[in-house]
Amino acid sequence: MNAGTAESAHRVLGLTDAEHALIVEKLGREPNGVELAVFSLLWSEHCAYKHSKRLLARLPVEGPHLLMGPGENAGAVDVGDGLAVAFKVESHNHPSAVEPFQGAATGVGDILRDVFAVGARPIAILDSLRFGELSSPRSRYLLDGAVAGIGHYGNSIGVATVGGEVYFEGPYEQNCLVNAMCLGVAPKERLIRSAAAGAGNLLVLMGARTGRDGIGGASVLASAELGEDDAAKRPSVQIGDPFEEKKLLECCLELLDLGTLASLQDLGAAGLSSSAAEMASKGEVGIDLDVSAVPLRTEGMEAFEIMVSESQERMLCVIEPARWPELEAVCSRWEVRATVIGEVTTTRRLRVFDHRVGTGGDALVGDMPVSALVDDCPLYDLASSRPDGQIYPPPPRVLESEAPQEVLPALLGSPNLSSRRPLFEQYDCLVGSRTVRRPEQCDAAVLQLVPDGAAAGIAVSIDGNGRRVACDPYTGTVEAVLECTSNLACAGAEPLGLTNCLNFGNPEKAHVAWQLERSVAGMADALTALGVPVVGGNVSLYNESGDGPIYPTPVVGMVGSLPAGDRVPGIGFADEGHLVALVSPRGFSASLPGSELAKLHGEALPDGLPEIDIEAVRECIDLVRAAARSGGIATAHDVAEGGLAVALAECCLAGGIGASVVLPEPESSLAALFGEGVGRFVVAGPRPGILALGERAAPIGTVGGQSFELNGACKWGLGELREASGGLASAFG
């Protein structure tokens, strides 16, 4: 293993001197090359969460619908009728910053495998993307490549991409974020865990051959800051093949239906090293693994390369020896390669053999206690402190006016608010015949549990606003959780569980550690108040360059249940004469600092956001959810980025019909029109249904015409607003 001198090899692989000393203590000797490579990856930030694991213990992980929680490939919740929904979100940030197409494509492939690894058929993909300003050539290159990669993999494998979000902010210029979420459906009895069991059972590798692509990929790239030599890291980015994965997916699900598999595990970051060690750890067993049996794409690979390769489209399973012919027959029918590469033991050790080397003996090239690899990685307490001043420079001023007549079109045309149609039209959102609400038709994606079947459905949303979290990590994260819950409420969905991806800078820096600590605290408090558990997730740290860290970006994905998936309000106003109302929490006051308008005006981020009354917001969420379920409203849209005026304009554009709105005097200020906060909703429908909502829903106007009139002072034609909202389309030419 060519990793430097014996004295410095561990440093080259990202291990500190103290960590190397601990490894020596655990082994009772110096590690050899194979062992050092395995330890370096399993003790990396990406695999071990050594700077965040203690923080994550604050998050609630229990709930009445929970079937599988953190620790499995994906979490799962009970949605009734004997069905489970499995879901998870993960990052592929650093690989996408190096090679955006393959980085994003393999991010989709990774998250799909996480879902079918627990026995669920993937039915939908969502993505959460962050890039530098759209005017930057680098950001356009990364955006184009990442969107193309997501579309290529999802469209090719036949899983609908039903929703997502994208933001453009300066701090993401060097470190884009590509977070992918997947959800799948399974009969509850088909769910399977990854714990290996049964001494003498066979360890079987299924899927693609193993190559040098991906060696040191996700696990290494995600555990260090990016620098000027990013181009040299391109060979570390995995290469995806969605058609190979489709065969692997169908093969695994058939084997699960037959009851052939005792356990199943995705091969993701750190490849065979992490998959085998984690399976052994969960099952409290040992594993003997023979790298000479692993089918290779590249001849001449060393043992350590085979162990740490992150080649895609591979799964690891455990079966009883008697079921090998059955597995072999199913794999042959699906044209999926299956190879016995080891067995389960009682040793509680991961032993690696290579029978290609030497003569006679066992050719043992690695022998490590499983507990040392998985359970004994050192965990670090963060040394945090609040920054003395603002660490992010103010954005350039691109709008001078404060006149609402000019501000609204400018906001609709800003890259963060304009229509995402040029992006989502590259994705197939209908494949699988489950999609009830397409992108931009509802605040949450809505799917049927059974294609063309029962009315029951699910809603799913993914949210996060890094700029708001940068203003106030605690309150900004509370907003993200409540925003995601609000999106589900607009579809009438009750939240069942949440998955998260915590994207932050270098946690060894005090101000980043403070951001991470406050953000996790905000998420824990919001979820506890809502009674929603975390089912699993991902942490992505070291997202920074010489220019500084990214905005702290906790991304949350939430799944909710619907009693009637075919009867869901839309974003758009529906009919002439419908009454428009504003649902607002008691004591709510919109704020301009930290808003999208403040960005256009070139204002620096404020030091804090207004405190949120979570219970008051929850009352509004519950009210809107109940109204959506009752059928009493035709339109439901939460007020988010850009404020109330933008939300009203979006309702007009989505429905192709105008509205005349008059706000109460205190609600007519610039802050009231364009300020931001969480908990407000625009609803519309027949007068009886709106009036039935009570005092929290204040009537403010009527649907009708081909223009949006506001307070009798401003008026915009729908054509004007539609042209303004095409800012992203204009950028794509």
Is residue 92 annotated as a catalytic residue, yes or no?
Answer: yes
User: Residue 223: which of 211, 213, 235, 233 has the closest Cα?
Assistant: 233
Helix (H, G, I), strand (E, B) or coil at 508: coil
- Residues 623, 696 contacting (CB under 8 angstroms): yes
Structure tokens at 482: 């409540």
* 631 neighbors 684 (Cβ within 8 angstroms): no
Q: Which of 10, 20, 46, 51 is catalytic?
A: 46
Number of Cβ within 10 Å of residue 62's Cβ equals 9
What order do you get walking across the sheet with 579-583 strand by strand? 635-638, 681-685, 579-583, 697-703, 659-661, 707-710, 714-717
| Single-letter amino acid code for the residue at 672 | A
**Of the listed 20, 51, 65, 92, which one is catalytic?**
92
Q: At 287, which helix (H) or strand (E)?
A: strand 286-290
Distances (CA, A) of 464 to 120, 484, 503, 660: 26, 8, 10, 31
The terminus-to-terminus CA distance of the chain in angstroms comes to 50
Decide: helix, strand or coil at residue 17: helix
Three-state DSSP at 259 gives coil
What DSSP state is assigned to residue 634?
Answer: S
> Which position has the token pair 């620096």?
604
Residue in the structure block whose two tokens are 């330890």:
39
The CA-atom distances, in angstroms, between 590 and each of 593, 670, 710 are 10, 10, 18
**If you search the block for the tokens 């162990």, which residue do you land on?**
307
Closest CA relative to residue 6, chosen from 27, 29, 25, 648 = 29
Can you tell me the distance from the alpha carbon of 47 to that of 50, in angstroms, rounded to the nearest whole number?
8
Q: Which of 13, 6, 12 is nearest to 32 (CA)?
A: 6
Residue 406, Cβ neighbours under 10 Å: how many? 13
3-state secondary structure 323-383: HHHHHHHHHHHCCCCEEEEEEEECCCEEEEECCCCCCCCCCEEEEEEHHHHHCCCCCCCCC
Sign of the CA dihedral 15, 16, 22, 27?
positive
User: How many beta carbons lie within 10 A of that of residue 709, not counting itself?
Assistant: 18
Do the Cβ atoms of 489 and 582 come closer than 8 Å? no
Q: Which amino acid is at 316?
A: L
CA distance 469 to 719: 34
| Residue (of 639, 458, 465, 427) closest to 553 by Cα position | 465
Under 8 Å between Cβ of 481 and 676? no
Phi-psi region of 189 (alpha: psi -120 to 50; beta: other; left: phi over 0): alpha
As annotated, the active-site residues are 46, 92
